[in-house]
Structure 1
Amino acid sequence: MKPYVMIAEDDKAVAELLRYNLEREGYDTSVAPDGDEAMILLDERAPDLVLLDWMLPKVPGIEVCRRIRSKPDTANLPVIMLTARSEEADRIRGLDTGADDYVTKPFSTTELMARVRAVLRRIRPALVEDQVTVGDITIDRTTHTVSRDGKNIHLGPTEYRLLDYFVQHPGRVFSREQLLDGIWGSDVYVEARTVDVHVGRLRKALMSQGGDDPIRTVRSAGYSLKGG
């Protein structure tokens, strides 16, 4: 059964971005546009994790978190709080209320997906796939290591995130714009040329121990990782 994540977010664009990325990684999702709806959805079906916006209409997210922690059947439910509040006092308040993690907006979707996996791995480890293999390439998310044909491959942090993004959908072609949004986030200005540079570095690293080029360049479209 797929892990089920409830998204409590009143910004439709943010909610759709979260829903798309979670479903792309294999999660079931539901979306609550306000705190009242979030509590109704929680009663209808217990999620495996909640992404909870602090500034929800009707019932604020921090109050939703309090109610989650006060009910015996949801007291241990993983909660990641999303908020534009970045002050240390706000982060402490969110965590003291019972949130398992705290992510400030704007955020990188790749980083947020990694935090979702980290929280689930810590609290409900059976739900998260720690090791993924595509062809002769294996990525281990617990140790942040990569190997090809059994040989260790050293990657920089951006190249690691790029590979992790590719392995989620081997064979799928991603445009430069999709990779920019997925790796760096839509609110960070990075030139499209930067994608080419990091793909080149990833290619070089993956071929450093021999083997064919595992990354396919699709002219006027983008890049994909060849499926195994």
Structure 2
Amino acid sequence: MTRILIVEDNELNRDMLQRRLERKGYVVTCAIDGPQGIAMAAGTQPDIILMDVALGDMDGWEATMAIHADPRSAAIPVIALTAHALESDRLRSIDAGCVDFETKPVSLPDLIAKIEQHVVRREAA
């Protein structure tokens, strides 16, 4: 069963995404900010991380770089989530180490396809 860590500071967004993914059979845990997401990534070893990029004091790009700097969590793929559909945000996400990018509001079929693609790719590596 695929384990997903959602790092999202907006409670409504976090709850909605968690419930939708759990209904699809995923095991979901959540972090409310970058530092908690970094700690949970290393401690719980999810199969994939969904990272909001606008988190407050530490944005999702900084958190992603910290996750990938830690040998315990370096191999975990991160998908950036943002309300901004700008090409510059997508490029910044890739530069920070994200494997993919999804705009909000999230299209669940598109997000699930990306999750499955990157989890399979990680398992094959």
Cα offset, 1:122, TM superposition? 1.9
Cα offset, 1:33, TM superposition? 1.1
Aligned to 2:75: 76
**Conserved 8 A contact 1:36-1:58:** no
Runs of 4+ displaced beyond 4 Å: none
**Conserved 8 A contact 1:51-1:81:** yes
Higher helix share: 2
**Conserved 8 A contact 1:81-1:99:** yes
Question: 1:169-220 CA deviation, whole Å, 9 max, x = no partner?
Answer: xxxxxxxxxxxxxxxxxxxxxxxxxxxxxxxxxxxxxxxxxxxxxxxxxxxx
Q: TM-score, normalised by structure 1?
A: 0.51
Whole-Å Cα distance in 2 between the matches of residues 111 and 3 of structure 1? 17
**Conserved 8 A contact 2:51-2:60:** yes
Cα offset, 1:61, TM superposition? 0.5
| Bigger radius of gyration | 1
Give matches, 1:107-118, under 5 Å: 107-118=106-117
Give matches, 1:66-215, under 5 Å: 66-124=65-123
Q: Which runs of 5+ in 1 are unaligned?
A: 126-228
**Conserved 8 A contact 2:8-2:51:** yes
Alignment RMSD (CA, Å):
1.4
In structure 1, give the amino acid aligned to 2:26.
Answer: Y
Question: 1:20-67 CA deviation, whole Å, 9 max, x = no partner?
Answer: 122112211111111122122223211110000000123211000111
Corresponding residue pairs, total? 124
Cα offset, 1:72, TM superposition? 1.6
Higher relative contact order (CA 8 A, sep 6+): 2
**Conserved 8 A contact 1:7-1:31:** yes
